[in-house]
Amino acid sequence: MTQNNEVQESLIHGTTDKIESLWLIVWKRFKKNKLAVFGAIILVILSLSAIFAPLIAPYSLEEMDFMSMDQGPSKAHWLGTDSLGRDIFSRLLFAGRISLTVGLVAEGISLAIGVILGAISGFYGGKVDTLIMRLVDIFSCIPFLLLAITVVAVVGPSIYNLMVVIGIIGWTGTARLVRGEFLKLRNMEFIEGAKALGASDARLIFLHMLPNSFAPILVTATLGVGSTIMFEAALSYLGLGVQPPTPSWGNMIQSANDIIIFQDKPYMWLPPGIAILLAVLSINFLGDGLRDALDPRMQVN
């Protein structure tokens, strides 16, 4: 849309020298938002440290140093060791792998369900729409955390169950959003035009309507990864998520349940909490920056 306006403007004013692509405009706007760029950089660093954890981590995941158990931060162990003599800094890096993966995969699942059901609902309307929206009502009637712990308690806590459960419960917001976008687009002229040319439903949905709802979907998906990481942390902290010995940021904070560790060894439970804060904060900055950058009402100067 922005592109069209610019084309029109350049035609009117007779300036045909440069027409910027949509993505260049978005990138220009995004660059100006310092917090968003900061968030993106932190996320790249966190992702790289998660991907290359086995190379970066000074110790392996299972390595137990029986000579130095329960030790405070030192040169050999930057964040100290836990009661089994495992290096906390190394575990933090490996935990990042798990937490970020769970965040991405779970959000991916809920995004897929939300986009498909929302698209069907908004495109076809009528009885299908009513049915899907009632389903959304049912799912959004119970606080996410309660529903999640209920289901996880039934299917058993594991990293895979966690991803599936968060994904299956968390799609309602996306579905509502996509449905809303589709309802707006459905009556637009270019869609009617495509219909008149005999485009199939699938073509209309995937080639015309989805790409035009891309911006809000991208923003929700980005912010969704952040809240998914927080849910993973909460469930794992309660003992209903990722199970030890596999570390996740959430279950590493479980060490705070030991009153002595909680009181005297904050270096054991503070770093994973700060890691969650940093990751989610960066994602929120990024999502907010994307929202502004993708908003066609915002002006570039």
Partner 1 sequence: MRTYLIKRILQGIPVLFALSLIIFFVINLAPGDPLAGMMDPHITSEDLARRREQLGLNESIIVRYFNWLKNALRGDFGRSMKVGRRPVAELLQERLPNSIILNVAAMLISWLLAVPIGIFSALKQYSLADHTITFFIFIGLSLPSFFFALLAIYIFSFKIPIFPIGGMRTPGAPFSILDILYHMALPAIAMGFLGIASMTRFTRSSMLEVVKQDYIRTARSKGLTEKVVIYKHALRNALIPIVTIFGLSIPGIFGGSIIIEQIFTWPGMGTLSVKAVFSRDYPVIMAVNMFYALITYLGNLIADVLYAVVDPRIRYD
Amino acid at 272: P
Sites for partner 1 among residues 25-54 (CB under 8 A): 35
Cα torsion 287, 293, 295, 297: sign: positive
224 binds partner 1 (CB under 8 A): no
Min dist CB 263 to partner 1, Å, is 5
Distance from the first to the final alpha carbon of the chain: 17
Q: Closer to partner 1 at the Cβ: 205 or 290?
A: 290
Q: In the set 4, 5, 15, 150, which binds partner 1 (CB under 8 A)?
A: 150
133 binds partner 1 (CB under 8 A): no
Min dist CB 271 to partner 1, Å, is 11
The piece of 18-26, 92-100, 130-138, 172-180 that touches partner 1 (CB under 8 A) is 130-138
274: Cβ contacts below 8 Å, ≥ 6 apart: none
Min dist CB 111 to partner 1, Å, is 20
x/- track of binding to partner 1 for residues 241-270 (CB under 8 A): ---------x--x--x-----xx--x--x-
Min dist CB 21 to partner 1, Å, is 30
Q: In the set 102, 217, 252, 280, which binds partner 1 (CB under 8 A)?
A: 280
296 binds partner 1 (CB under 8 A): no
DSSP 17: S
142 binds partner 1 (CB under 8 A): yes
- Token pair, residue 226, equals 């952040």
Give CA–CA dist 119/183, Å, rounded: 9
Taking Cα atoms as reference points, which of 215, 103, 119 lies closest to residue 170?
A: 103
Q: Closer to partner 1 at the Cβ: 51 or 142?
A: 142
- Cα 53–chain centre separation: 21
What is the DSSP code string of 72-109?
---SSSTT-B-TT--BHHHHHHHHHHHHHHHHHHHHHH
- Token pair, residue 166, equals 């968060």
Give CA–CA dist 183/121, Å, rounded: 9
Q: Which residues bind partner 1 (CB under 8 A)?
A: 35, 134, 137-138, 140-147, 149-151, 153-155, 226, 230, 233-234, 237-238, 240, 250, 253, 256, 262-263, 266, 269, 273, 276-277, 280-281, 283-285, 288
